[in-house]
């Protein structure tokens, strides 16, 4: 049974088939040309020396032009084919990864909130970067078996010129090299590479968490503790990488040992055929075993690729759904037992922790199944996130094709336009990670402006004036009132502050003494 990742990789292989075929053809040329080049060079050098030692007549009779021309041709072919293999193979792999990474992100966004919203930034980054990069070998190593077969086949043909025994020696050495590399990789490389994948994610997760809390850590004098925590994560990653490097060293050592044994055995077995053919057989043996290095490398990387596949499959099983179109007629909204007609406004009030935010998230489908398409709502969450980009970048998350005039309009509505105009680059001002170059109240108003920018019949605002001083709060509330009157949008507003709830005509109180919100729904005027 194929996994979701296998299906994605298969689709990309079909789409990049031309480039991958070119990489395979180039790899075949590289494998064959490398083996024949070295074997022919060894034969040519020894045969030239033998002709020179045989006397002047033999030296003059020896044809140096054809072998030297063949050597130059093979060298050119190998260089050109190696370039073609790397260029086409890696280009196909990188383009495939560029297509797979957005698919992973889309699946992550489509996952149930219980999974997607609990995945930390560091862990999500590790899935999108480290894990996707690990499956690059699924494309790059496609040419490795073909190159190995071409190199081994050429070596067997050349060794057979000196007799069947040298060819048999090469075949046995090649089989032993593959079996040993596979066994060592399974025993040592696979667990080590898998550990590297998981520990990279753990390090990124810890780093992201500590960076986000850097101000608090400094304030409480926990800088040293944070450093020790990061060092501990890094030490765990280093230990896994060291284990992986040792496993790789064992594979290389086994390959080098077998190469030496194969060369010596091939030379000895081919000695009766003469020194030139013995040299040819020995060097053919060397290149035949060396041609298998691509397979050995693939075995070494299998652990990382397998771990990455398992981690990505947990995300990719969630397939993005088609975005439901927004209803032509603004729908009514039901929340906390209250049904709101289009354009109505409801304030949900109560102390912190009483479930106000949970009620809004349930309406959006972040807790359970949504009753209405999310395109129905423009949402300001309680803890709105900002991306590491410009003011324009952050606003256009709500409307990617919005014009600058529209951006300035919503900034005016959020009472933030004057502040942005004073910035050296205006809408192009870079805000840093999570808007760190803005104050808390400015970040809040920027997120509010982003909610205004979304063309939706209902606004869901969770604590829109949190962190604002009284004067700024009243300005934001007045402009919210003006905007609602102009657009006719409906509003569900969550707040424990009195000023913003004044724009709402209906009110629901929540809290320990108000377990039944429906019974406590009263007009705001009362």
pLDDT tens-digit profile of 98-154? 888 888 888 887 777 666 666 666 677 777 777 888 777 777 777 888 888 999 999
How much is the pLDDT for 188?
92
Closest CA relative to residue 305, chosen from 140, 74, 110: 140
How much is the pLDDT for 134?
79
Same domain, 343 and 304: no
Percentage with pLDDT > 90 across the chain = 37
Strand 490-495 to strand 377-380: parallel, antiparallel, or no bridges (unpaired)? unpaired
Average pLDDT, the chain: 85
Interaxial angle between packed helices 164-184 and 293-316, expressed in degrees from 0 to 180 and rounded to the nearest 10: 30
Q: How far out from the chain centre does Cα 286 lie?
A: 38
CATH of the domain at 42: 1.20.1560.10
How does pLDDT run across 307-326, given as a tens digit for each residue?
Answer: 788 888 887 887 766 666 66
Q: Is residue 317 part of a domain?
A: no
Strand 345-349 to strand 490-495: parallel, antiparallel, or no bridges (unpaired)? parallel
pLDDT at position 272 over 80 = yes
How does pLDDT run across 43-71, given as a tens digit for each residue?
Answer: 888 888 877 777 677 666 777 788 888 88
Confidence band of 522 (pLDDT split at 50, 70, 90): very low
Same domain, 149 and 260: yes
Confidence band of 436 (pLDDT split at 50, 70, 90): confident
- CA distance linking residue 73 with residue 86, whole number of Å: 20
For the chain, the residue count is: 526
- CA distance linking residue 327 with residue 30, whole number of Å: 60
Same domain, 112 and 52: yes
How much is the pLDDT for 442?
92
Strand 458-462 to strand 377-380: parallel, antiparallel, or no bridges (unpaired)? parallel
Percentage with pLDDT > 70 across the chain = 92
- Minimum mean pLDDT among 80-94, 156-170, 299-313, 438-452: which range? 299-313
How does pLDDT run across 219-245, given as a tens digit for each residue?
Answer: 899 889 999 999 999 999 999 999 999
pLDDT at position 377 over 80 = yes
Q: Is residue 366 part of a domain?
A: yes
Which of the listed residues 250, 283, 312 is the one where a domain comes to its end?
Answer: 312
Q: Is residue 508 part of a domain?
A: yes
Same domain, 378 and 236: no
Same domain, 122 and 266: yes
Closest CA relative to residue 417, chosen from 397, 439, 394, 445: 445
Q: Into how many domains does the chain fold? A: 2
Count Cα atoms within 13 angstroms, Cβ side, for 217: 15
Give the domain range for residue 446.
333-523
pTM: 0.71
Token pair of 394 as six digits: 């952050």
How much is the pLDDT for 326?
67
CATH of the domain at 403: 3.40.50.300
Q: Is residue 321 part of a domain?
A: no
Same domain, 306 and 360: no
Average pLDDT over residues 291-312: 83
Same domain, 352 and 304: no
Our CA angle for 32, 38, 41, nearest 5°, is 130
Q: Is residue 285 part of a domain?
A: yes
Most confident of 193-202, 207-216, 303-312, 395-404: 395-404
Which of the listed residues 281, 312, 343 is the one where a domain comes to its end?
Answer: 312
């Amino acid at each position: 049974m194929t996994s979701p990742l296998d299906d994605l990789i298969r689709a990309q292989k079909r789409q990049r088939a031309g480039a991958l075929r070119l990489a395979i053809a180039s790899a075949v040329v590289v494998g064959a040309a490398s083996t024949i080049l070295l074997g022919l060079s060894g034969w040519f050098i020894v045969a030239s020396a033998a002709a020179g030692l045989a006397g002047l007549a033999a030296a003059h009779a020896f044809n140096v032009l054809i072998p030297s021309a063949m050597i130059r041709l093979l060298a050119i072919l190998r260089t050109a084919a190696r370039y073609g293999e790397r260029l086409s193979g890696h280009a196909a792999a990188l383009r495939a990864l560029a297509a797979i990474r957005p698919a992973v992100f889309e699946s992550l966004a489509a996952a149930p909130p219980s999974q997607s919203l609990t995945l930390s930034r560091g862990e999500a980054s590790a899935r999108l970067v480290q894990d996707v990069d690990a499956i690059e070998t699924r494309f790059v190593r496609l040419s490795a078996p073909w190159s190995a077969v071409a190199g081994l086949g050429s070596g067997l043909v050349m060794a057979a010129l000196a007799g069947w025994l040298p060819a048999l020696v090469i075949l046995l050495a090649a089989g032993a090299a593959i079996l040993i590399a596979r066994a060592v990789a399974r025993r040592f490389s696979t667990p080590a590479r898998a550990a590297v994948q998981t520990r990279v994610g753990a390090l990124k997760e810890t780093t992201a968490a500590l960076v986000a809390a850097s101000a608090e850590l400094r304030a409480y004098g926990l800088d040293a503790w944070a450093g020790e925590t990061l060092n501990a994560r890094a030490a765990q990653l280093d230990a896994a990488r060291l284990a992986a490097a040792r496993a790789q060293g064992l594979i290389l050592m086994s390959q080098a040992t077998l190469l030496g044994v194969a060369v010596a055995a091939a030379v000895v077995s081919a000695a009766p055929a003469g020194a030139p053919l013995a040299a040819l057989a020995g060097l053919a043996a060397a290149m035949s075993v060396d041609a298998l290095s691509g397979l050995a490398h693939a075995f070494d990387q299998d652990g990382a690729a397998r771990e990455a596949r398992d981690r990505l499959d947990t995300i990719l099983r969630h397939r993005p759904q088609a975005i439901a179109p927004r209803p032509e007629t603004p729908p009514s909204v039901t929340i906390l037992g209250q049904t709101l007609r289009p354009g109505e406004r409801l304030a949900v009030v109560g102390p912190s922790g009483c479930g106000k935010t949970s009620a809004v998230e349930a309406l959006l489908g972040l807790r359970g199944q949504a009753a209405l398409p999310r395109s129905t709502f423009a949402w300001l969450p309680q803890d709105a996130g900002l991306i590491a980009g410009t003011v324009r970048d952050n606003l256009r998350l709500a409307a990617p094709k919005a014009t600058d005039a529209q951006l300035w309009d919503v900034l005016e509505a959020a009472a933030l336009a004057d502040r942005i105009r004073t910035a050296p680059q205006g809408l192009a001002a870079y805000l840093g990670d999570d808007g760190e170059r803005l104050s808390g109240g400015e970040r809040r108003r920027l997120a509010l402006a982003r909610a205004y920018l979304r063309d939706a019949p209902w606004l869901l605002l969770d604590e829109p004036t949190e962190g604002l001083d009284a004067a700024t709060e009243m300005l934001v509330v007045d402009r919210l009132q003006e905007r609602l009157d102009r657009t006719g949008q409906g509003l569900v507003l969550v707040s424990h502050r009195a000023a913003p709830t004044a724009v709402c005509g209906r009110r629901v109180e929540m809290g320990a003494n108000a377990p039944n919100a429906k019974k406590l729904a009263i007009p705001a005027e009362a």
